[in-house]
């Protein structure tokens, strides 16, 4: 599962010639945090600030986002959390610089980052929803995932014995096609990303060093 990633940077946005993002967002995103989502409206490509973790219309609060940030493509048409959005083709992308997974070395988890070799942002397939909770509009989205048991890179992540999963990456040259889907059949997009275009490495999480308390001169 992908629970942590870095959204695209301004330089990557300009390189891809995408519309300007009209809001600020965190350098790293975690479940229930906010992130930029790219989708297509009748007016063209648009950005929305959304919660990482889809909140279905029947939810009473947003706590569910901490459990819905990944959506298995195999079950989105059956799972109550994703069914309505999937049938209505609410598909977008989350442009990413790098995403993080756990790799077990000597039975200990290490944080590894996956990124493109050329430094470009890439598009992770997403499913999104809009709902109201206590009169507040909630926009949210989840990453779509696929089986990764045979993927040369992704099969090495997650705890030994766990099911191997990977995010679904939409190729740059198929972005328009993905965002324009009018049928919920996404089978042609279910393909492992080309490992020759990506790289991964150990990326330790930066530790926040708290300042040592100073004794007051009056104490």
Per-residue pLDDT of 167-215, as tens digits, reads 999 999 999 999 999 999 999 999 999 999 999 999 998 765 444 444 4
Q: How many domains does the chain have?
A: 1
- Does residue 36 lie in a domain region? yes
- Does residue 116 lie in a domain region? yes
pTM of the full structure: 0.93
- Does residue 96 lie in a domain region? yes
Residue of 170, 154, 187 lying closest to 16 (CA atoms)? 170
CA distances to 9, 59, 115, 134 from 99, rounded to whole Å, are: 13, 28, 7, 33
Lowest mean pLDDT among 55-59, 63-67, 103-107, 113-117: 103-107
CB 192 within 8 A of CB 146: yes
Domain containing residue 145: CATH number: 3.90.1680.10
Residue of 6, 123, 126, 142 lying closest to 66 (CA atoms)? 142
- Does residue 108 lie in a domain region? yes
Residue 207 to residue 205: CA distance in whole angstroms: 6
Residue 186 to residue 72: CA distance in whole angstroms: 12
Domain around 91: 5-202
- Does residue 213 lie in a domain region? no
Residue 67 to residue 81: CA distance in whole angstroms: 10
């Amino acid at each position: 599962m992908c629970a942590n990633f870095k959204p695209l940077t301004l330089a990557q946005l300009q390189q891809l010639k995408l519309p300007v993002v009209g809001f600020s967002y965190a350098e790293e995103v975690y479940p229930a945090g906010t992130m930029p989502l790219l989708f297509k409206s009748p007016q063209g490509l648009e950005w929305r600030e959304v919660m990482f973790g889809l909140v279905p219309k029947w939810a009473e609060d947003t706590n569910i986002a901490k459990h819905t940030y990944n959506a298995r493509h195999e079950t989105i048409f059956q799972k109550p959390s994703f069914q309505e959005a999937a049938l209505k083709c609410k598909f977008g992308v989350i442009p990413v610089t790098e995403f993080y997974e756990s790799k077990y070395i000597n039975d200990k988890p290490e944080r590894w980052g996956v990124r493109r070799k050329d430094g470009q942002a890439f598009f992770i397939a997403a499913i999104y929803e809009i709902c109201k909770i206590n009169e507040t509009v909630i926009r949210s989205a989840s990453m779509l995932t696929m089986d990764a048991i045979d993927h040369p890179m992704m099969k090495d992540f997650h705890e030994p014995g766990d099911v191997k999963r990977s995010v679904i990456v939409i190729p740059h040259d198929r972005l328009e096609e993905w965002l324009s889907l009018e049928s919920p059949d996404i089978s042609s997009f279910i393909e492992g990303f080309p490992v020759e275009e990506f790289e991964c490495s150990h990326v330790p999480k930066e530790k926040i060093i708290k300042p040592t308390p100073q004794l007051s001169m009056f104490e």
